[in-house]
Amino acid sequence: MTPPTLRTQRLILRAPGPQDIGPFAAFYESEASNFVGGPQSPADTWRYLAQVIGHWTMRGFGRWMVTRHDDDTAIGLVGLHYPMNWPEPEVGWYIWDGNGKGYASEAGRAAREYAYDTLGWTTVISMIAPGNDASVRVAEAMGAVREADWCLPGREPIMVYRHPGPEAVS
Amino acid sequence: MIAETLSTARLTLRKPLAGDVPAYTAYCMSDRAGFVGGPFTEAQAFEKYCAMAGHWALRGYGRYVMVHNGAPIGHVGPLGIDAGQPEMTWTLWDGAAEGKGLATEAATAVWDHLRAQDWPEMIIRILPDNAASIAIARRIGATQTDEAAPAWYEGALTFRLRREVPA
């Protein structure tokens, strides 16, 4: 499916595409990608971008590239994500340009609202790597509460935050 | 413009869809995936299939799923792993589909289409013990070269498909 475009006060959430490989690969080459599977090579990030796009086809929902209103350059990846080894679908965010301005929670709220209002979800979690304090602050700002960790064989446990349901945030 | 759907006598070739995931995953978790770096876990298979679908949006071309009698049985077509020459690939997901010429039929249709779009040449890489695949490469007109295998596919033989047959 073609991802819909969402608009918030300061941001646009749009379909990822070939124009995003530059900023996405630069982020994934940096240490800042530590908590989200990086750093990794541009070739691996290219494949990962293909994966992010194809997730929309396979699941009917997915993640958006985040931009500012007046500039189509991607500054983050935010949205709904459900790999086979996750306990349930999550809303996730990373912003690589413009941290500390509340962009992650602004885009995260739009994605969560889409999950509740358009997809009809009744609940959603966020999966956060231990030590990713910035992301924990975003989850807490959105009203999410920590639950039991999710453990994958051979991997560090991942923190699970559960968001308030549709009634609580509408 | 690369077509998103192609038809052959016995197959429909189309982009990957969500309904294919179980059949593709079964292939990825089987020994058949050993020729391409597997077997893989269920989670890896899902990621790979997402990437196969998303490749179309990034490159404007990609692998087609072979649909035979309504069921997805394999994938075939160009893989652009980097900015270099696209690689021609084909895979039957289940051994039961082998021996009927279906992969050859599919690969021929894709190469005919790409040639008609002025694609001059494609590369094919096959591990030396994959005799069935080597036979298909020869059948669709590829010729073996002495080019070395890339680091990510050690030991592979290289073939080339050329639109113009050199005099």
Q: What is the pLDDT of residue A106?
A: 98
What count of residues does chain A have?
170
> What pLDDT was estimated at residue B35?
84
Nearest to A50 among B17, B41, B58 (CB): B58
B51 in reach of chain A (CB within 8 A): yes
* Minimal-distance CA residue of chain B relative to A84: B43
CB atoms within 10 A of CB A96: 19
- How would residue B167 be classed by pLDDT, with cut points 50, 70 and 90? low
Q: What is the pLDDT of residues A75-93, one digit of tens each?
A: 999 999 999 999 999 999 9
Q: pLDDT value at position B166?
A: 56
Distance from CA of B47 to the nearest CA of A (A): 6
Residues 6+ away with beta carbon under 8 Å from B41: A85, B29
* Range B150-158 average pLDDT: 90
- Cβ separation of B58 and A17 shorter than 8 Å? yes
A37 touches chain B (CB under 8 A): no
Least CB-CB distance to B57: which of A17, A58, A59? A17
Task: Compute mean pLDDT per 10 residues along chain A, 170 residues long, and list them.
Answer: 95 98 96 92 95 98 98 98 96 94 98 98 97 96 98 92 94
The residue with tokens 């404007």 is B60
State the residue for tokens 């039961």: B96
Average pLDDT, chain B: 95
Q: What is the pLDDT of residues B62-80, one digit of tens each?
A: 999 999 999 999 999 999 9
Provide ipTM, 2 decimals: 0.95
Residue B164 has pLDDT above 90, yes or no: no
